[in-house]
């Protein structure tokens, strides 16, 4: 597939960048699509279009904005099979999982956001003040490759419901779902300029959007390094910024916990999407007395993570997204082994093609090692023993990140008392499932702001306090 166009002002127009960028199938290692790159000039044109559409869209009644979102969701659902295949090939997630996680969940979230917008309190009274929530304005949404449609959904949908207009720059590594979504939006009849999409690189299109004086807010998901750059550029114009960045999440197993359940769930979370998940539990904290038992359980479970073609139903672990990502993850594992870490199991034989890293669990790891402190973004779990609960909490909180965490204990009350002491934006207790209506975001270098639920919509709203004479309220109450 070759695509030369970008979506601006409700129309497809030729991208003006000077190059085409190949998208590589993560299993075959062969090109699967080619997209022409946009330019800084394209980004400026998209911002102009969004600015021109802002007054009309922000004054569109909420029920009409909600109706557009539901129509787009239906259009995406009709394209679910195409989206699943594209994302699975780009990112490497097994297709049976991609259908549910990469496509089904994001499409459902469009309708969930619509429900939440209808429930949101858009105006409230504080004494003689009317507090009104209004759209922040033109929003630049810059999204990553690991969960492409999910991350786009978490920004574009609440921004549109808030009454903002949007310019999207999807990841150039996995952009295919964004193009499919743009066509679903076009088919919905959304007013021109409300949604715009420019495909391109971060240094060209991304920085042009972040630096544009008519962009009122930037919502970015990606690496902490890139997030620091976005924040610095946005700070020049005092733009509003939402950042969802890296993570090094800890699963803390208390002595009273069901060890088998904790280990099994932590492995599943760590290896989901081949470890390419920002909130993945990549550190397993265990009582020193139970470390050996955990290693035995892990040795049995790791064998079940069969690597192979993501299109095959028996595959549990797909490839990484790219050759460079495989090289980076392998390098971090090698460095950890040189620093004294030890594999719990021997590495499995790799398939003949694909950017694979075998499922890896490392023990004899100390909290100060790079592998225990830095985000790996691959199927790598480290085991960290502790002697006291206070020590475990100190280890869990002892990185630059604070995106997510988990606590396992014999009782929910015991786990909850520990969860309250973790410096992380999301903490799961005893395997409780993800809640798409609850806020998601991190502490420290994991970012600024929250996505999902009512909080995700409110990220794109400003508060206006209108001071009124008391007689105004008295007349309305009479």
Just list the catalytic residues: 244, 278
> Which neighbouring-strand residues pair with 440?
451
Q: How far apart are CA 217 and CA 166, in angstroms?
A: 10
| Whole-number Cα distances in Å, 227 to 56, 81, 218, 371, 477 | 31, 32, 11, 21, 49
Q: Report yes or no: 11 and 201 within 8 Å, Cβ to Cβ.
A: no
Q: How far apart are CA 418 and CA 426, in angstroms?
A: 13
Q: How far apart are CA 329 and CA 92, in angstroms?
A: 15
Q: How far apart are CA 93 and CA 310, in angstroms?
A: 6
Q: How far apart are CA 113 and CA 25, in angstroms?
A: 32
Q: How many C-beta atoms lie closer than 10 Å to residue 342's C-beta?
A: 13
Q: Report yes or no: 248 and 399 within 8 Å, Cβ to Cβ.
A: yes
Q: How far apart are CA 66 and CA 161, in angstroms?
A: 7
Q: Report yes or no: 142 and 220 within 8 Å, Cβ to Cβ.
A: yes
Q: How far apart are CA 148 and CA 33, in angstroms?
A: 16
Q: Which residue in 209, 213, 183, 184 sits closest to 198, CA to CA?
A: 209
Q: Report yes or no: 26 and 92 within 8 Å, Cβ to Cβ.
A: yes
Q: Which residue in 23, 93, 68 sits closest to 311, CA to CA?
A: 93
């Amino acid at each position: 597939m070759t695509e030369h166009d970008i979506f601006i002002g409700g129309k497809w127009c030729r991208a003006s960048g000077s190059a085409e960028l190949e998208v590589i199938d993560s299993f075959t290692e062969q090109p699967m699509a080619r997209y022409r790159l946009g330019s800084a000039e394209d980004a400026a044109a998209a911002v102009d279009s969004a600015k021109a559409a802002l007054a009309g869209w922000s004054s569109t009644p909420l029920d009409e904005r909600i109706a557009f979102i539901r129509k787009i969701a239906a259009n995406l659902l009709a394209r679910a099979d195409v989206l699943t295949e594209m994302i699975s090939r780009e990112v490497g997630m097994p297709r049976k999982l991609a259908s549910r996680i990469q496509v089904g969940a994001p499409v459902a979230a469009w309708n969930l956001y619509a429900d939440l917008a209808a429930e949101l309190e858009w105006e409230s009274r504080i004494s003689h003040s009317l507090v009104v929530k209004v759209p922040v304005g033109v929003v630049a949404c810059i999204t990553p490759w690991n969960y492409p449609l999910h991350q786009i959904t978490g920004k574009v949908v609440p921004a549109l419901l808030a009454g903002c207009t949007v310019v999207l720059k999807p990841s150039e590594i996995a952009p295919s779902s964004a193009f499919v979504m743009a066509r679903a939006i076009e088919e919905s009849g959304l007013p021109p300029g409300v949604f715009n999409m420019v495909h391109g690189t971060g240094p060209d299109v991304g920085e042009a959007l972040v630096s544009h004086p008519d962009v009122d807010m930037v919502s970015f998901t990606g690496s902490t390094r890139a997030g620091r750059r976005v924040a610095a550029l946005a700070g020049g114009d005092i733009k509003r910024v939402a950042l969802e960045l890296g993570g090094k999440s800890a699963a803390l197993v208390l002595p009273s916990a069901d060890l088998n359940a904790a280990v099994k769930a932590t492995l599943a979370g760590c290896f989901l999407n081949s470890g390419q998940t920002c909130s993945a539990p990549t550190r397993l904290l265990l009582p020193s007395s139970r470390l050996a038992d955990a290693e035995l359980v892990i040795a049995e479970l790791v064998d079940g993570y069969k690597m192979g073609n993501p299109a095959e139903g028996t595959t549990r672990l797909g490839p990484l997204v790219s050759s460079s990502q495989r090289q980076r993850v392998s390098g971090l594992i090698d460095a950890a082994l040189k620093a004294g870490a030890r594999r719990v199991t021997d590495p499995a034989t790799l398939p003949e093609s694909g950017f694979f890293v075998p499922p890896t669990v490392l023990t004899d790891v100390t909290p100060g090692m790079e592998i225990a402190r830095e985000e790996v973004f691959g199927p790598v779990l480290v085991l960290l023993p502790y002697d006291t609960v206070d020590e475990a909490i100190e280890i869990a909180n002892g990185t630059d990140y604070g995106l997510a965490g988990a606590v396992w204990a014999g009782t929910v009350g015991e786990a909850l008392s520990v969860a309250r002491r973790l410096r992380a934006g999301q903490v799961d207790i005893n395997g409780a499932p993800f809640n798409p209506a609850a806020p998601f975001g991190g502490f420290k270098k994991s970012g600024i702001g929250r996505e999902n639920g009512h909080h995700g919509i409110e990220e794109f709203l400003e508060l206006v306090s209108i001071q009124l004479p008391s007689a105004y309220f008295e007349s309305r109450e009479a």
